[in-house]
Amino acid sequence: MYQDIENSDYVPLSTIKDFAENNSIEKYRKMTHEIIEQMRKDKVPEDADYEIVHFFSTLKFDNLEKFAVEVNNKFDDEVTIFEPEELTDEQFGEVFFAVDVSIIYDCLDEEAITEDMISLINICNQYEIAYDGWSTGEDSDLSYNDYVKQILTDKE
């Protein structure tokens, strides 16, 4: 599974004052480019189906509901919105709510993935939702999960 593996600017949700700044489109555009470049370097099949799962979190459940409705209205049948979860941030002791949104692509299309990511981030910013990046889903036609796990193990 490919994902943003270094999130050094992680902060507790309660300290975020400006969600547009926190959800930096340029930061995530760069991250998306780097992940896809790594996938291409690893020679993943570009014409395979890919499930991209985007991650979101907030302290306000009602905002998460509004966010989900807005995402559903914008993307309609193109997305799957998973059941929200109540979680506890072990590092900071905050209870928060998280939801994942999945989009299936019929090829590794950086432009389409980036465009959808930007749309999702813009909706996040309306509802004080933190965008937590994305990863390739388990249903993607990737046979490189073991390889990526090895990369993560080597970095530790």
| Residues 64/129, Cβ–Cβ less than 8 Å | yes
**What is the pTM for the complete model shown?**
0.82
Domain ranges of the chain: 17-149
SS3 (DSSP) at 19: helix
pLDDT tens for each residue of 26-71: 999 999 999 999 999 988 899 988 999 999 999 999 999 999 999 9
| Residues 98/118, Cβ–Cβ less than 8 Å | no
pLDDT of residue 100: 93
pLDDT of residue 15: 87
Q: Enumerate residues 6+ apart whose C-beta is below 8 A from 41.
A: none
pLDDT tens for each residue of 113-154: 999 999 999 999 999 999 999 998 754 443 333 334 444 455
Is residue 2 predicted with pLDDT exceeding 60? Answer: no
The token duo for 72 is 């559903």
Give the fold, CATH level 3, of 17-149.
Alpha-Beta Plaits (3.30.70)
